[in-house]
Amino acid sequence: MRIAITGSTGLIGTELVRSLRADGHDVVRLVRRPPAAADEVRWDPARQEVDTAGLRGCAAMVHLAGAGVGDHRWTAAYKREIRDSRVKGTEAVATALASMDAPPRVFVCGSAIGYYGDTGDRRTDETGAAGTGFLPDVCVAWEHAAGPAQEAGIRTAFARTGLVVARSGGAWGKLFPIFRMGLGGRLGDGSQYWSFISLADHIAALRHLIDTDGLSGPVNLTAPEPVTNREATAVMGKYLNRPTLATVPAPVLRAALGEFAGDVLASQRVIPRRLLDSGFSFSHPRVMDAVRAA
């Protein structure tokens, strides 16, 4: 199968490219600079340009590009970058696919469980309503931007991703060095739910979305049993054999992270109902499994 990917150099994209190629698939990587290899195709999301000639023959498009939510303090300028990188990028890809005489049969578009906002202790699946705040608003606009592809009849699935447990990269990758030094601990009171997924399960779930006909719309990419930050902290300490006595009080976290601290302290108890109902099987359903795999 010939598959096109944006965001191919990020944590998820790099591993997805490796996984697909290991199984003999032909991967096309969309890049913002002039192509320098045979597997590269130019796109410019800011100018809404995609070289559709390079996408001919692709059976699937996986769109993962977007500025990192936790990479910088949330200034007004960086919040615009977070939003624009997702919305404008998705608009560019969806419009390009819709213009093709023979478009890919499936469009897997990145999204996030930030869509639901703070769910507290409530178990929330894909039927949950959008929350309020910056990240929910971004996710709503992000998914809406895929409209041209949906209207063109392309099966479109939104991969609402949770916290990816990976050795390096992503939010969890930043935690491992801290815990290895014995400085890990709860964030706030630790009661907030974290909806996690191992990197391997995330890649397998993306491939499941590509391969499963009829699976469209929002799909939560999270493990079946979310855990509290307190529980995740205990698992990290146990597996790495380090103390977890340190805590970061909410006021300190807010001083360090600004507005983003509100989302770090928010609780998201998200369930992957549609993945489970479609027959997907998790390799690392428990947080200990995911930490050990990382």
Cα–Cα distance measured from residue 260 to residue 173, given in angstroms and rounded to the nearest whole number? 18
Give the per-residue pLDDT at 256: 66
Among 101, 100, 135, residue whose Cα is nearest residue 119: 135
Work out whether the CA dihedral 14, 15, 20, 21 comes out positive or negative. Answer: positive
Share of the chain above pLDDT 70, in %: 100
Domain limits for position 33: 2-293
Cβ pair 162, 220 in contact under 8 A: yes
Q: What is the pLDDT of residues 180-212, one digit of tens each?
A: 989 888 999 999 999 999 999 999 999 999 999
Cα–Cα distance measured from residue 173 to residue 163, given in angstroms and rounded to the nearest whole number? 10
Q: What is the pLDDT of residues 114-138, one digit of tens each?
A: 999 999 999 999 999 999 999 999 9
How many domains does the chain contain in total? 1
Average pLDDT over residues 63-75: 90
How many CA atoms, within 13 angstroms, populate the side-chain half-sphere of residue 287?
22
Give the per-residue pLDDT at 263: 77
Angle, alpha carbons 225-226-229 (nearest 5°): 145
Looking up residue 164, the CATH number of its domain turns out to be: 3.40.50.720
Amino acid in position 30: L
pTM score of the predicted model: 0.95
- CA gyration radius for the chain? 19
